[in-house]
């Protein structure tokens, strides 16, 4: 069987789609609305304990990477079909490259905090 | 093998850049695909939150303060709307994209759809508990 | 109900027009008349030079596909009365080059279809003399839906990806590949996978889902393509990530 990278990208895209659909809404409601607007008020010490646990950090990284691949893959085809930008290679490099840069940033943030 | 084909002269129509605005289903499709921008944005936002929390009480308070600015609230509200569109369409398309078999029987699409919403509820409750209560 | 309805038919006469132009006609509106009946009335009574394809008038031959009010339809199965008071806009099937009036050049589809090897492939030398291949009702049911395709190409006209990226092999061809893959008599999955795992194969599809919406035979090409992606991904994982002992 021929080796092709696209099946693996698509598998990660799908995994990221599931993660974004299942995990992200509650996180957004909490972090973007409930906490800043004071609907809930967990102490800073509690949240600090949470983000400093290795479990949280590994889990976050495992959720974030497929979501980035998901976004990059989807946006790539949106740019290509929706906006008809025909520089296929350039668009792919920008999208997946951007995802890779963000994944490295995530790694740095999650290992240094 | 196939017979040789004669090419006839023909008129090639062009597709405009805004092909997706004229038809509801195409428009919804492009909106669904654009949710990817906000998925990426919320990943960045999540990382900024983690960094702020880890940076101590003061940085965390600053972060919350900035998050209540009208601009960020609007961006996040729009983003959440796109995210909900992603969740709803993703759940709806999953039973069409895969066939699950349990004990030789095909799992009906409605059962797969319901299972995904149950998963969403369980995960949401768990994360809420983790962040707010635990 | 009015006794007539306006039809706006796209005409393209290569010797006269530099590009397709809409021409208005008025045809009788009868409850049992389809868009195809309207076109035949125009050809018989008003302008015999109007060109379009049709044959069976009963949704089997797949040759009378056109865009009716922007939507790919079999014109023999689309009633004029559903568009009253009109006008009914009839255009050649989208995404294909126009040869004349409502006739499109389907060469591209005819070249793509055999690429996915839509026939039963065997790895043995069993011939009809050795008897039939026995198939259970369950085995028939597994692929039956995908075998209903009449090659009308409405799905190609509905697919924006095919319109924007002519390399994409397209909905009907992939649905037919799935039809033979799911056939218990077939042994050709690997050969078809080698074709469809390429970037012109299944990966261009972004699951717009319109191919399935417009299919007059409920074939569900969109579902077939997504399932094919999953199959290609599973096979790739098996072939390149799992240790040899775990592969099937």
> Cβ of B39 and A32 within 8 Å?
no
Of C167, C209, C180, nearest in space to C122 by CA = C180
Query: Is there a contact between C116 and C169 (Cβ–Cβ < 8 Å)?
Result: yes
Domain closes at, from C104, C133, C160? C104
Domains recognised in chain A with CATH numbers: 6-112 (1.20.1300.10)
Residues C51, C134, single domain; the answer is no
Is the CB of B93 inside 8 Å of chain C's CB atoms? yes
What digits encode the pLDDT tens for the residues C200-244? 999 999 999 999 999 999 999 999 999 999 999 999 999 888 777
CATH number at C112 reads: 1.10.1060.10
Mean pLDDT of C185-210: 93
Q: Does the residue C205 lie in any domain?
A: yes
**Nearest-neighbour CA in chain B from C82: distance (Å):** 19
Q: Does the residue C32 lie in any domain?
A: yes
Q: Which of A3-7, A24-28, C127-131 has the lowest mean pLDDT?
A: C127-131
Query: In Å, how far are A36, A49, B20, C140 from C210, measured between CA atoms?
Result: 41, 49, 12, 26
Q: State residue B100's pLDDT score.
A: 86
Write the DSSP symbol of residue C134: P
Contacts of B22 in chain C (CB under 8 A): 70
> Cβ of B128 and A18 within 8 Å?
no
Structure tokens at A20: 């974004």
Q: Which position has the token pair 């806009």?
A: C89
Structure tokens at B73: 């609230």
Which residues does C25 contact at the CB level (< 8 Å), separation at least 6? C6, C7, C8, C9, C38, C42, C46, C47
Residues C143, C231, single domain; the answer is yes
Q: Does the residue C26 lie in any domain?
A: yes
Q: State residue C33's pLDDT score.
A: 96
Is the CB of B103 inside 8 Å of chain C's CB atoms? no
Mean pLDDT for chain A? 94
**Residue of higher predicted confidence among B15 and A101:** A101
Which residues are bridge partners to C67 per DSSP? C72, C91
Q: Which residues of chain B have pLDDT under 50?
A: none
Structure tokens at A74: 């989807």
pLDDT at C97 over 70: yes
Q: State residue A58's pLDDT score.
A: 96
Structure tokens at C204: 């261009």
How far is it, in rounded angstroms, from Cα B116 to Cα B99? 15
Residues C121, C227, single domain; the answer is yes
Q: Where are the alpha helices (DSSP H) in C61-133?
A: 107-112
Residues C89, C115, single domain; the answer is no
Q: What ipTM was estimated for this complex? A: 0.94
pLDDT at A80 over 90: no
Q: State residue B103's pLDDT score.
A: 79
Q: State residue A87's pLDDT score.
A: 85
Domain closes at, from C82, C104, C126? C104
Is the CB of C232 inside 8 Å of chain A's CB atoms? yes
What digits encode the pLDDT tens for the residues C38-51? 999 999 999 999 99
Q: State residue C248's pLDDT score.
A: 55
CA dihedral (A95, A98, A102, A108) in degrees, to 10, reads 140
Q: State residue B2's pLDDT score.
A: 59
**Residue of higher predicted confidence among B101 and A32:** A32
Residues C169, C118, single domain; the answer is yes
pLDDT band, very low/low/confident/very high, at A83 (cuts 50, 70, 90): confident
How far is it, in rounded angstroms, from Cα A89 to Cα A79? 12
Write the DSSP symbol of residue C74: E
**Nearest residue of A to residue B49 by CA position?**
A31
Which residues are bridge partners to C68 per DSSP? C71, C90
Residues C97, C129, single domain; the answer is no
Which residues are bridge partners to C28 per DSSP? C4
How far is it, in rounded angstroms, from Cα B36 to Cα B51? 23
CATH number at C49 reads: 3.10.20.30
Residues C64, C118, single domain; the answer is no
**Nearest-neighbour CA in chain B from C106: distance (Å):** 10
Contacts of A1 in chain C (CB under 8 A): 190, 193-194, 235-236, 239
Mean pLDDT of A30-46: 95
Query: Is there a contact between B85 and B99 (Cβ–Cβ < 8 Å)?
Result: no
How far is it, in rounded angstroms, from Cα C21 to Cα C14? 11
Tally of structural domains, chain C: 2
Is the CB of C247 inside 8 Å of chain A's CB atoms? no
**Nearest residue of B to residue C210 by CA position?**
B25
Contacts of A84 in chain C (CB under 8 A): 164
Helix, strand, coil tally for chain C in percent (to 5): 40, 15, 45
Q: Does the residue C247 lie in any domain?
A: no
Q: State residue C60's pLDDT score.
A: 96
**Considering only residues 103 to 162 of chain C, which have any Cβ-Cβ distance to chain A shorter than 8 Å?**
160-161
> Cβ of A81 and C197 within 8 Å?
no
> Cβ of C114 and B8 within 8 Å?
no
Residues C74, C148, single domain; the answer is no
Domain closes at, from C89, C104, C119? C104
Query: Is there a contact between C8 and C22 (Cβ–Cβ < 8 Å)?
Result: yes
Domains recognised in chain B with CATH numbers: 18-84 (1.20.1300.10), 98-134 (no CATH)
Residue C158: give the domain boundaries: 107-240
Closest in A21, A42, A77 to B86, CB measured: A21
């Amino acid at each position: 069987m021929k080796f092709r990278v696209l099946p693996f990208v698509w598998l990660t895209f799908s995994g990221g789609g599931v993660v974004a659909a299942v995990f992200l809404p509650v996180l957004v409601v909490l972090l973007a609305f409930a906490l800043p607007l004071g609907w809930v008020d967990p102490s800073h010490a509690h949240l600090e304990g949470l983000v400093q646990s290795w479990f949280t950090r590994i889990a976050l990284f495992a959720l974030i990477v497929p979501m980035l691949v998901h976004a990059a893959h989807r946006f790539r085809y949106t740019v290509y079909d929706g906006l008809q930008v025909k520089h296929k290679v350039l668009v792919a490099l920008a999208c997946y490259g951007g995802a890779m840069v963000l994944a490295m940033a995530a790694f740095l943030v999650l290992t240094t905090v | 093998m196939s017979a040789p084909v004669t090419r006839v002269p023909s008129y090639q129509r062009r597709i405009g850049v805004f092909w997706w605005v004229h038809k509801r289903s195409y428009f919804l499709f492009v909106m669904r695909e654009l949710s990817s921008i906000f998925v990426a944005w919320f990943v960045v936002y999540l990382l900024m939150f983690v960094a702020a929390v880890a940076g101590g009480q003061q940085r965390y308070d600053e972060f919350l303060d900035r998050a209540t600015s009208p601009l960020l609230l609007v961006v996040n509200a729009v983003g959440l709307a796109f995210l909900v569109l992603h969740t709803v369409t993703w759940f709806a398309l999953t039973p069409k994209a895969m066939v699950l078999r349990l004990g030789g029987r095909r799992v009906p699409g409605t059962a797969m759809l319901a299972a995904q919403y149950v998963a969403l509820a369980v995960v949401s409750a768990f994360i809420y508990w983790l962040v707010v209560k635990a | 109900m009015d006794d007539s309805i306006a039809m706006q038919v796209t005409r393209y006469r290569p010797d006269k027009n530099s590009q397709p132009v809409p021409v208005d006609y008025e045809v009788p509106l009868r409850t049992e008349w389809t868009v195809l009946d309207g076109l035949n009335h125009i050809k018989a009574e008003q302008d015999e030079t109007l060109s379009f394809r049709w044959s069976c008038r009963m949704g089997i031959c797949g040759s009378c596909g056109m865009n009716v009010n922007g939507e790919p339809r079999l014109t023999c199965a689309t009633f004029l009365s559903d568009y009253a008071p009109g006008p009914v806009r009839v255009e050649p099937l989208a995404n294909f080059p126009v040869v004349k009036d409502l006739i499109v050049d389907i060469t591209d589809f005819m070249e793509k279809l055999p690429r996915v090897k839509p026939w039963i492939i065997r790895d043995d030398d069993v011939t009809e003399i050795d008897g039939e291949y026995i198939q259970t009702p369950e085995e028939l049911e597994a692929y039956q839906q995908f075998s209903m395709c009449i090659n009308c190409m409405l799905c190609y006209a509905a697919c924006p990806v095919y319109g924007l990226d002519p390399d994409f092999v397209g909905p009907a061809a992939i649905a037919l590949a799935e039809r033979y893959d799911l056939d218990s008599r077939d042994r050709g999955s690997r050969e078809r996978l080698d074709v469809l795992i390429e970037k012109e194969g299944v990966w261009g599809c972004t699951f717009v889902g319109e191919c399935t919406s417009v299919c007059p035979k409920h074939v569900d090409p969109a579902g077939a393509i997504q399932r094919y992606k999953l199959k290609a991904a599973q096979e790739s994982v098996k072939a390149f990530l799992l240790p040899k002992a775990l592969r099937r």
